[in-house]
Structure 1
Amino acid sequence: MEIKEIQELIKFVSKSGVNEVSIERKDFKITIKTTSQQTVQAVVQAVPAAAPVAAIPHVTAPAIPAAAPAAAPVAPVAPAASEENLITIKSPMIGTFYRQASPEKPSFVNVGDEIRPGQVLCIIEAMKLFNEIESEISGRIVKVLVENASPVEYDQPLFLVEPM
């Protein structure tokens, strides 16, 4: 590929709105990335692709099985012991879990507290917005499953409640 062809390709990528283009031939590989509307970055390199490609699967393959067994036993153990007659209140969003409105104020609910529909149980901060999570059921808090100021995922269990 000649320099004129590379320049034309860069112009095309910058005008088309595409974020990244990669072309691979026998003797070279070119990747053109746009980081913003005005900045275009081109990387041209020779292709000794056989060695890195072979190394990548060997590195990633052992890492995936090692992580999966560690995570699998943890999840089933906790719910199996305590879900017989308890209701799990789950996070409706991704964010940071807070048990109280501010560090000086008391927790919204504690283990043993009776709750009713509409009562605030916690706050989940998402993108600098503080969302009050309210109870939809009546019952008694049996266990708080998340530590204060820790990140939570969507549908992650937050509280175990004994229904009343």
Structure 2
Amino acid sequence: MDLKEIQNLIKFVAKSGASEVKLEMDDVKITIRTGSDHSDTTTIVQQVPVGAPVAAAPIAAPAPTPEAPATPAPAADDSSKYITIKSPIIGTFYRKPSPDKPMFVEVGSSIKEGDVLCVIEAMKLFNEIESEVSGKIVKILVDDSSPVEFDQPLFLVDPS
């Protein structure tokens, strides 16, 4: 798809009144979002690596927006001196590498950058979640074998 075809597609979507259109082909993904007054048009074009599977997405699904790294962030409650470690992915939270192994960390454990805190299983892959801060585990906010969402708080860490 060349630039002229993309520009024509943008004009067509703007005139049609659709608020968002996603087009996925073998090597290109295009998302076009228009504002309610049709003067605000956003276009996102991504090149997909050759050989990568292209998943079909629902038309009305919002595109993810880039955010600052969400793993360490200050807690918003009375324990504002603590750092919240959040889940970087959706999946199932496990506190130990396998059922017969000990927990990665407990309340009171001292951690440093790079220490594995837990694993999150997503699509049969076990992803080790490493600490990006040093400190002491104050609270574990999720039960073992529980489902977690993206950006869900997992641990409170006292950095002092």
- 2:83 maps to 1:102: no
Q: Which protein is richer in helix relative to its size?
A: 1
In the alignment, is residue 80 of structure 1 matched against residue 39 of structure 2? no
Larger Rg: 1
TM-score in terms of structure 2 length: 0.52
Look up the match of 1:10: none
1:156 partner amino acid:
Q
> Which of 108, 133, 148 in structure 1 is aligned with 2:144?
148
Tell me which residue corresponds to 1:157: 153
Residues 87-143 of structure 1: per-residue CA shift (max 9 Å, x gap): 000000000000001111110000000000010000000000000000011000000
1:79 CA drift (Å): 4.9
CA RMSD of aligned residues (A): 1.3
TM-score scaled by structure 1? 0.51
The alignment status of 1:119 with 2:141, answered yes or no, reads no
CA distance in 2, matches of 1:125, 1:149: 9
The amino acid that maps onto 1:146 is V
Structure 1 residue identity aligned to 2:146: S
Unaligned stretches of 5+ in structure 2?
Answer: 1-74
Which amino acid is the alignment partner of residue 153 of structure 2?
P
Number of residues of Structure 1 aligned to a counterpart in Structure 2: 86
Aligned partner of residue 121 in structure 2, secondary structure: strand
After TM superposition, the runs of 4+ consecutive aligned structure 1 residues lying more than 3 A away are: none
| Structure 2 Cα separation of the partners of residues 159 and 79 of structure 1 | 14
Q: Structure 1: any 5+ residue segments left out of the alignment?
A: 1-77
